[in-house]
Structures are given as structure tokens and as C-alpha cells.
């Protein structure tokens, strides 16, 4: 099948399904996050050749535990006692992360096939930070993290933290990324010209990068007019135009160093989850930071 047709059909089927589940409810955003997060992390560990099977499955299990926590303590109504437990967990994430990584390091002590434990531990930890946590941040953005605490209702003794779910936030971020990727692909394919970063990705050109950035910002202006929210879609589109394309290059550098073409084959014509969402992994943490600066620190109407 023609490569462009294959990419188009995959985009229509997968994209249509994704838009539907995101629009329907916050559970759609939850399902999207856990699917991309789990598969992306699995692809990363397989691509990098992680030898510790116990360590790999332990980290994947931690990922499942995080999404189950989000389901039961964010998407479901919880009592005041449960909310106090959630407060302890969420205010000590750094300590919990250190504990989990320490357990992973201890696991490596008992795996004889691991000959370079420091390298193995670095790969396990970095993969989790790179390919997993951004999907959690995207999910939290869809719930408006600045408003979740306001849903605490002392009269009914319950907290419903998904009442601020807004499908426009994750969908808008993905739409900007889709517009950028499409324009970059066709710009590079039909215009060509000077290579952008030939040592890392010989097929990417400056023309493609400029087309991608222009399309990203154009979609941002359109979203600003169509979906008016308290933050600026234009700022978000600029972040994606920069960090989304850098994320593509970063993942290309990983694959080139590991001598693999695609991270997986689950999306025909697009590769794996890492290939499809590499721009999201780098841009979402920056968008999340912008979001918090905009609302928590109240830096004007940017």
C-alpha cells in the first residue's frame, strides 16, 4: 500500500477514535493516557534493550498503579479521609519517586544478567520520566489542576475532582501537534532543501520545520478564536512548534543511536507510540509549567 495512503488511513481511524473518546468523558482521557503511557514505556524499554525483566515489569506496574490512583482518587467521588490520604500522596511525590527508584535499584542486585546496573537503572528511570509522566500531565491538564481543589465539598463530605474536565485542552494540544506534523511531513517531502539536522535525521529539512511551525501557530490562532479559554492557545502553539519538533529530533537521535527504524509497529505508516507522540513527550511538561505560571502565579493575561 502507498505510504501516504497508509498514513492517511491510520490517521483517520486512530484519530477519529481518539477524538471520540476524548469528547465523551474524562474517562476517555484516562484511557488515552494509560494506553499511550504503557505502550510507549514498553516500546522504550524494548528499544533500549533493558535486560532486567523484573525491573522493567516493576516500572510498568508502577505506571498502572498511578493510573489506578488517578481513577479512584480523581475520577470517583472520595471522602474527606480519602482526600487527606490523597493530599499526603500528592504532596510527597518526590519522596515516593525516590523510594520507587530505590526499590528498582535493589531489584537489580538480584538479576545476574544485568552487567551494568548503573546504566540499567538510568535507562529504567529515564524511560519512565520521558515516555510516561508527560501523559499523566496531559491528563491532569484536561481536568484543570488549578481548579481540582475547589471541588472539595465539606457538606457532602466528598470530593469530585473531575468536574472541571475540558476535552478541548488535550484535544487542542493534539490538534496543534497533528497540524505541525502534517505540514512538516509534506513540506519536507515536496519542498525539500537544506537539511535540518542531517546527523540525526537525514530526511528532515528546514523547509519542513518552518512549514510545521507555521501550521502549528496557525492552528493556535484558529483555536484561540474557536475555543476561547483562560490561557492563550497561541502561546501553547509556539511551545509545541519549538518543543514538539525538538522532541521529534530527540527520539530520532535515540533510534539512530540504537540503530532501529521505528519504536514499534502498532500504528501502520506512523510506527509506534513513541514515534507518534514524541513531540507530546517534550512539549506537554512545558505547557503544564506555562499553565501553572499563568494561573497559580497569575502572570497577567498571557
Q: For residue range 74-85, what is the model confidence (pLDDT) as tens digits?
A: 888 777 777 778
Q: For residue range 232-288, what is the model confidence (pLDDT) as tens digits?
A: 899 999 999 999 999 999 998 998 888 888 888 888 777 889 988 989 999 999 999
Where residue 302 falls among pLDDT bands split at 50, 70, 90?
very low
Q: For residue range 182-226, what is the model confidence (pLDDT) as tens digits?
A: 898 888 777 877 887 778 887 888 888 899 999 999 999 999 999
- pLDDT: is 264 or 181 the higher one? 181
| Predicted local confidence at residue 68, as pLDDT | 94
Q: Give the C-alpha separation, 86 to 52, whole Å.
A: 31
Q: Give the C-alpha separation, 165 to 162, whole Å.
A: 5
State percent of the chain over pLDDT 70: 92
pLDDT of 171 > 50? The answer is yes
pTM score, two decimals?
Answer: 0.90
DSSP string, 62-115: HHHHHHHHHIIIIIS-B-HHHHHHHHHHHTTHHHHHHHHHHHHHHHHTT-TT-S
Amino acid at each position: 500500500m502507498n505510504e501516504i495512503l497508509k498514513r492517511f488511513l491510520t490517521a483517520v481511524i486512530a484519530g477519529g477514535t481518539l477524538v471520540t473518546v476524548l469528547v465523551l468523558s474524562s474517562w476517555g482521557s484516562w484511557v488515552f493516557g494509560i494506553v499511550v503511557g504503557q505502550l510507549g514505556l514498553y516500546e522504550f524499554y524494548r528499544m533500549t534493550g533493558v535486560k532486567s525483566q523484573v525491573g522493567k515489569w516493576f516500572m510498568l506496574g508502577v505506571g498502572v498503579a498511578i493510573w489506578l490512583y488517578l481513577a479512584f482518587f480523581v475520577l470517583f467521588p472520595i471522602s474527606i479521609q480519602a482526600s487527606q490520604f490523597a493530599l499526603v500522596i500528592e504532596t510527597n511525590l518526590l519522596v515516593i519517586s525516590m523510594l520507587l527508584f530505590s526499590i528498582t535499584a535493589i531489584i537489580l542486585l538480584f538479576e545476574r544478567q544485568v552487567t551494568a546496573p548503573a546504566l540499567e537503572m538510568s535507562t529504567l528511570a529515564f524511560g519512565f520520566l520521558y515516555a510516561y509522566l508527560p501523559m499523566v500531565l496531559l491528563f491532569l491538564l484536561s481536568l484543570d489542576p488549578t481548579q481540582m481543589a475547589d471541588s472539595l465539598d465539606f457538606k457532602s463530605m466528598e470530593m469530585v475532582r473531575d468536574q472541571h474536565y475540558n476535552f478541548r485542552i488535550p484535544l487542542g494540544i493534539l490538534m496543534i501537534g497533528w497540524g505541525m506534523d502534517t505540514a512538516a511531513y509534506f513540506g519536507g517531502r515536496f519542498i525539500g532543501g537544506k537539511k535540518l539536522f542531517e546527523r540525526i535525521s537525514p530526511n528532515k529539512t528546514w523547509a519542513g520545520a518552518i512549514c510545521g511551525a507555521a501550521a502549528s501557530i496557525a492552528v493556535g490562532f484558529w483555536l484561540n478564536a474557536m475555543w476561547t479559554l483562560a490561557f492563550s492557545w497561541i502561546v501553547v502553539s509556539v511551545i509545541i512548534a519549538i518543543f514538539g519538533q525538538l522532541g521529534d529530533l530527540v527520539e530520532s537521535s535515540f533510534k539512530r543511536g540504537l540503530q532501529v527504524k521505528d519504536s514499534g509497529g502498532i500504528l501502520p505508516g506512523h510506527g509506534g507510540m513513541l514515534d507518534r507522540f514524541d513531540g507530546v513527550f517534550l512539549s506537554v511538561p512545558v505547557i503544564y509549567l506555562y499553565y501553572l505560571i499563568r494561573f497559580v502565579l497569575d502572570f497577567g493575561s498571557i
